[in-house]
Amino acid sequence: MLFDLLLNFCILFTFAILSYWPFQDTVRSNFPFPKVHPYIIGIMSGLAGFILMESSVKLSDTIMVDSRHVVIIISGIAGGPIAPIISGLIIGLARIFMTDTVTTTGLLGGINVIVLGIVIGVFSFKYPMTFKNAPRYFYYATTQTAALIAILIYHSTTNYLHIVYFILFSAFSFFTVLFILIELNDHFKKIRHTELLAETDYLTGLYNNRKFEQLTHSYITDSTKPFSMISIDIDHFKKVNDLYGHPIGDEILKELGTRLKILVSSCEGYVTRNGGEQFVVLVPNSPPAMGLDLGERIRSSIARSPFPVSNNQQVTITVSVGVSSYPDNGMTIQELYSAADTAMYEAKAIGRNRVIHYTNIKA
């Protein structure tokens, strides 16, 4: 019996990992099409439940014990309300028809699993299953199943001590798997956080110079369409820091980053902070005219909208903007960045608070 219980747990553990890890958005490689994840997890858990029943521990000729109800709960953690309903239906129907003839025990066992899946799924719509509240669903499922076993045992010679075995095995299986999944979740979050730190600016939360190079490289290598690079630098930012202090200057940098993200969101562009008060915007599918137009919208929006900072102050700033375009102004990251930077410094040289495209300098 011990070997059968261990085998049953190993099947459950394998399912838990395969149904959780590939469907998390925090992992490096995950399963595509998020909308169908609940259905896939539900079907996977249904198949896992069927395998668990095939390797179940026989308490008597008609009563068998396994961790099929634990599978339903795990599917709810990974797949939301839909997954337990689907898995409960699959496992329940499999229990009813897994023998040559439909028996009373098989029918009751199957109905029990179907009811578990539906009840857990329905309640999950209102109270989404999480690592924190999953034990409550487990207690319900275990209590209902143990009660059914007790009723079935009442009409047989099987020892009631087997109910205790079922509860202990269920608790061991569920809480061990739950602990592993929590550890995996924390591990994935830490990895993702470390990755974000490596590619984001600590102050503004924008992409940093390293990510800027990756994005630009992907644009150059993966796209045949033109794109624009916009270099943005705050005018007289040293004077702002001297007048208001560096903490206020940091607030302005953070707010500017937020505004830039909003301004380029409609173009599906990316904003990076490349150091100090300099920001760069990458705009896909954007020929020179579109890049110049976006640069002007950025400049005018910042110039006319003061920045609210601490102590109820309003600080007005302006920016100088330089634009370069691929492939007109360069075929490499260095060439495009140098062109945008040159255009930005030209804007500063002729009076600041202006937008210059690199092509117009050469003309």
Taking the domains of the chain in order of start, what are their residue ranges?
A: 2-198, 209-362
Distance CA(277)–CA(260), nearest Å, equals 13
Q: What is the mean pLDDT of residues 167-188?
A: 89
Which residues are bridge partners to 307 per DSSP?
A: 315
Catalytic residues: 277
Q: What is the mean pLDDT of residues 30-42?
A: 81
Instruction: Please give the structure tokens belonging to residue 260.
Output: 């830039």
Among 94-98, 109-113, 130-134, the least confident range: 94-98
Q: What is the pLDDT of residue 297?
A: 95
Q: What is the mean pLDDT of residues 144-152?
A: 88
Predicted confidence (pLDDT) per residue in 128-140, tens digit: 999 999 999 999 9
Q: What is the pLDDT of residue 241?
A: 93
Give me the DSSP letters along 306-349. PEEEGGGEEE---EEEEEEEETTT-SSHHHHHHHHHHHHHHHHH
Q: What is the pLDDT of residue 362?
A: 57
Instruction: Please give the structure tokens belonging to residue 264.
Output: 């380029």
The separation between CA 64 and the C-alpha centre of its own chain, rounded to angstroms, equals 39
Among 88-92, 175-179, 194-198, the least confident range: 194-198
Predicted confidence (pLDDT) per residue in 310-353, tens digit: 988 899 999 999 999 999 999 999 999 999 999 999 999 999 99
Give me the CATH topology for the region 209-362: Alpha-Beta Plaits (3.30.70)
Q: What is the pLDDT of residue 67?
A: 84
pLDDT of 119 higher than 80: yes
CATH number, domain 2-198, options 1.10.3470, 1.25.10, 1.10.1760, 1.10.1060? 1.10.1760
Q: What is the pLDDT of residue 57?
A: 72
Predicted confidence (pLDDT) per residue in 281-321, tens digit: 999 999 999 999 999 999 999 999 999 999 888 999 999 99
